[in-house]
Structure 1
């Protein structure tokens, strides 16, 4: 008999969907923070760390690599976008685009480090825990979905 999966065991989402979710959640956190405070604060940092953990929990095993490289790319891309549309939220308004992105990443570097470490740690834990049986179950689930 198979037990019910806990929320952290939901591990079957395709990589592209997980990346889209990460971008959406991160931009939502940015929007809320900028709307309420006018700049990125600890709220954004905490949301980013939780997002990194959630993405590592959701992605299917064969897309681990995509999520393993996502946190720094996600933060840099989002800060690039924010620097284009609301530069004062991440840097001095007179800074160049590149300088604003570097400022944003440097200012929120602890969140990036913690989020990245948690993401990689969770993926490693899943690899260890699932072993080869997890791969077989995932392939069976994928084949069953495509046939049905």
Structure 2
């Protein structure tokens, strides 16, 4: 009898779909935040942190690297788009595109760090669960793992 997958084993999406989902959700959060509050603020930060965790849980194990580097790149791409089109949403209205991106990244650095740490933590726990194999306790070594003697 096959046991159901745990939360750590459930992700099966390929990297390109997870990256596309991340971009779509991040841009949607920006649109809603700007529409409601005229700038990018706390709503985007909360959505970004939740998005980082969700992406780490949805990706398939062989694509962990893509999601492991995604959160900073995702925020830089979103803020570059905003800085070149509407810099007042992430910085002062008179700032240029580059200064707007730098201001946006510094203003949302807490969300970036928290989201990135949670993403990497989820990927680490998932990697441990995958290495342990199906039905095994992630804290216990696999039964087919090599045993090294230290005599």
Shared fold per TM-score greater than 0.5: yes
Kindly provide the CA deviation profile for residues 123-144 of structure 1, in whole angstroms up to 9, marking residues without a partner as x: 000011121636xxxxxxxxxx
Aligned residues: 134
Structure 1 129/54 Cα, relative in aligned 2: closer, same or farther at 3 Å? same
Unaligned runs of 5+ in 1: 135-148
Is contact 1:8-1:58 (8 Å) kept? no
- Residue 19 of structure 1 corresponds to 19
TM-score, normalised to structure 1, is 0.85
Query: In the aligned structure 2, how far is the partner of 1:15 from the partner of 1:118?
Result: 18
TM-score, normalised to structure 2, is 0.84
- Residue 101 of structure 1 corresponds to 101
Q: Which has the larger radius of gyration?
A: 2
Unaligned runs of 5+ in 2: 135-151
- Supply the RMSD in Å over aligned alpha carbons: 1.4
Kindly provide the CA deviation profile for residues 77-127 of structure 1, in whole angstroms up to 9, marking residues without a partner as x: 000011122211101121111110000000000000000000000000001
Is contact 2:9-2:130 (8 Å) kept? no
Is contact 1:92-1:100 (8 Å) kept? yes
